[in-house]
Amino acid sequence: MQLKTTHVFILGYLCLAFYCLCTADKFYNRGNHEWTKLFMVQHWPTTVCKEIENDCRDPPNYWTIHGLWPDKAGECNRSWHFNLDEIKDLLPDMRHFWPDVIHPSPNRSQFWKHEWEKHGTCAAQLDALNSQKKYFGKCLEFYKNLDLNSMLLKLGIEPSVQYYQIVDIKNALTSVYGVVPKIQCLPPEQEEEVQTLGQIEFCFTKDLHLRNCTEPGVYSPFLQDALLTDETSMSHGLSVCEDGPVFYPPPEKTYH
């Protein structure tokens, strides 16, 4: 009788544990991971290297991809691990347009791993982004279609030792793309210095159409958290640019 009671107790305990795990999984995967827009983020490698103050060697002299980030969501499925084999067809473009500016080969895939596991698993709510190949492929498509490097040159905005005005850059980009981007800078280290252009973000709806990055008076605490914490240590010092002059730094080897 005692043995039977013990078996019933153990069976009941296992059922309760299984129920708790299922409930926790449901809460985790369907919890506070809803998002409303995507940030397609590009950064200027020269500023990235200045920001981190590490031994970046010959960073690209063109804008590169930082990531594709849903707002208000992060690490939506920790069991969905990054698999480099799933994007092997994309690797030539990934290496050129989405390099790990800070960590040279062979660690470059760690950057992509971070972007997928933190942001891609949330973006995967959309059928158009519900695999690693779709997620990285769509971001590459956005990058090529936006063609930020060429557009800036056509607008007469290029790396220079002379300063630009933030409002001029924002207005010029808005005139081309028809939406207001978000521009982020590295704040000056000393009072006599000016902010340094570091990152430009374009925003997309869930239908994958361009939209304004912010509405008047709207602030995104999630994005600021992302910038101040763990974006591969590549955005911890950036913030939305202040009105006024900005330095768009040429690659150091061109002016040192």
The set of catalytic residues is 66, 115, 119
Taking CA atoms, 251 is separated from 37, 186, 201, in Å, by: 32, 16, 21
Q: Are 67 and 114 in contact (CB under 8 A)?
A: no
Q: Are 211 and 182 in contact (CB under 8 A)?
A: no
Taking CA atoms, 209 is separated from 51, 116, 166, 194, in Å, by: 31, 21, 25, 34
Closest CA relative to residue 69, chosen from 24, 106, 117: 117
Cα–Cα distance between 3 and 107 in angstroms, integer? 56
How many residues make up the chain in this entry? 256
Cα–Cα distance between 235 and 229 in angstroms, integer? 8
